[in-house]
Structure 1
């Protein structure tokens, strides 16, 4: 297939997205697909009209994925300035190249990529892509809205609330959540801007940090215990994976620093608890109107109560990311998983 792997963008997860996109593109090329890597925001000005007149030039059989990734990274220092001077989100030749592809593999992470806006444009243009549609993507990106839908559909989640910039800031003793608590941007990802507050001073600082990223933040009860994740593909839960950081919590550093976290799949749980978590993952998937695939994050407290934290509609996609590790337990290697996600999405 002729495939565009779309990555990069302008969110706080741009670098992670480039890594995911690079690995996806390599995996698909290993399977014989004519996949190319493209930055959704910066595009590729090197593509000419002659290239668009010849699909073999747009989707060549021989292709240097690492060179394409390096080209994307060459824009990193310019992103902040480009955001100030540009009105249009899509970069040079992006929409034309995506139209020319048989399918777009969404390697985007974070807002303005994972949050439904790109998906909505593609829907209007008739461009096929992997992952959930515009509605499910937008709903899942909003952690405050996700929490309310979980509660409405019987998916257990931690007690919490949302706070908007400029609203009266109630203290932890006044807001009914208490300490310790977790403060995080409402629509962020990769744990960027997430803080655990154990004192009122830390709570005030955590709000300031989170509001540095967004206009609305989520404040949640802190759940002490074990952390897990469950992929859901085509509506069915994958094996449960346990995430155990050697220090602190599963923040940005522990997510992406080699050796910082012990990941065990299948998780060391009895069959009943495994099935319970998988059932809640599938319920959360349906509650948020997700399609194709996603990954649900859970906490389990010391009394073995489960709490669904959030959904990731475009989870990390490197061979060591959580969803690929779960797929490996089912006998599916990384390249096979990439192909399977395309098959499910196109179907």
Structure 2
């Protein structure tokens, strides 16, 4: 098996706001590959010059870099230039999915369901705009830095003062912020493997939404897989996930996040092209339901670099 793959660079860590999560994901992936006899080495771009990968004899790369530098097309562009095969989506689709506003524009043009939204920029925003924005977006909004993941910098607000405070916080992470109409309902995620949907997962938290604490710190977050949907609902959800994935040109593996409102209408939230890969993350949970062990999942993702 190691002869087929050659020398594999597992890229994790990096310098984004999601560094700590990436370190945990990357170590889990690295351990799974090594346990299967693959010549894999952990590479942290924060301390290693990844431009030297080819010269150091690496044959392919398993990207486990979350956030900027890892999911935004940057590392994908470098690896493409070096002619090193890598896991996951290409430069363009990685860049688009990292920019939540671009994803939503594509989905809207493709007729796919996504909540009403507005983009505000740090240099152009005036606090006096807050009341009108809230009125236009049904009075309660989600504040999301456009180019961050793991719910970093996100907040739910329903008044002008809180909106301005949330924007000040979000602008610390990104100069461009997405304001999205709050959807009251249930949150689901559909993991993608080889372009096809794995069993959906429903997330439930006592927090206002599935935030950083609920994802990585709380012991009270509940995950349901099977998710409780009937066959027709599952068919609809899976079709939406695959359409959303394809519409942006995503490849290999990833995760598509959804909300379902009180009227059972689906709304696309975002795509993660390098989602969490600890043994308790969402993609491994879905893969386990589909019959894949964590090691089998990791191997199946790496096999995409042989195509």
TM above 0.5: yes
Q: In the TM superposition, what are the counterparts of 1:192-207 in structure 2 within 5 Å?
A: 192-207=152-167
Alpha carbons 1:103, 1:128 under 8 Å: kept = yes
5+ residue gaps, structure 1, are: 44-90
Task: Please name the residue that 2:130 is paired with.
Answer: 171
Moved more, 167-176 or 18-27: 167-176
Cα distance change of structure 1 residues 297 and 334 upon mapping to structure 2, 3 Å threshold: same
Task: Please name the residue that 1:96 is paired with.
Answer: 52
Structure 2 residue 69 is matched with structure 1 residue 112? yes
Q: Which has the larger radius of gyration?
A: 1
**Deviation (angstroms), 1:174:** 4.4
Moved more, 142-151 or 96-105: 96-105
Task: Please name the residue that 2:18 is paired with.
Answer: 13
Q: TM-score, normalised by structure 2?
A: 0.94
Q: TM-score, normalised by structure 1?
A: 0.83
3-state SS in 2 of match to 1:171:
helix
In the aligned structure 2, how far is the partner of 1:8 from the partner of 1:98?
20
**Deviation (angstroms), 1:346:** 2.9
| Runs (4+) off by over 3 Å | 172-175
Alignment counterpart, residue 42 of structure 2, candidates 37, 41, 57 = 37
Alpha carbons 1:129, 1:346 under 8 Å: kept = no
Over the aligned positions, Cα root-mean-square deviation in angstroms equals: 1.3
3-state SS in 2 of match to 1:145:
helix
Alignment counterpart, residue 123 of structure 1, candidates 56, 69, 80 = 80
Alpha carbons 1:296, 1:311 under 8 Å: kept = yes
In the aligned structure 2, how far is the partner of 1:143 from the partner of 1:119?
18
Cα distance change of structure 1 residues 316 and 174 upon mapping to structure 2, 3 Å threshold: closer
Structure 2 residue 98 is matched with structure 1 residue 141? yes
Alpha carbons 1:246, 1:262 under 8 Å: kept = no
Give a deviation string over 1:53-100, Cα, whole Å, max 9, x none.
xxxxxxxxxxxxxxxxxxxxxxxxxxxxxxxxxxxxxx3xx3323552
Alpha carbons 2:156, 2:208 under 8 Å: kept = no
Paired residue total: 298
5+ residue gaps, structure 2, are: none
Structure 2 residue 3 is matched with structure 1 residue 3? no
Alpha carbons 2:10, 2:43 under 8 Å: kept = yes
Give a deviation string over 1:142-168, Cα, whole Å, max 9, x none.
000100001111221010011111214
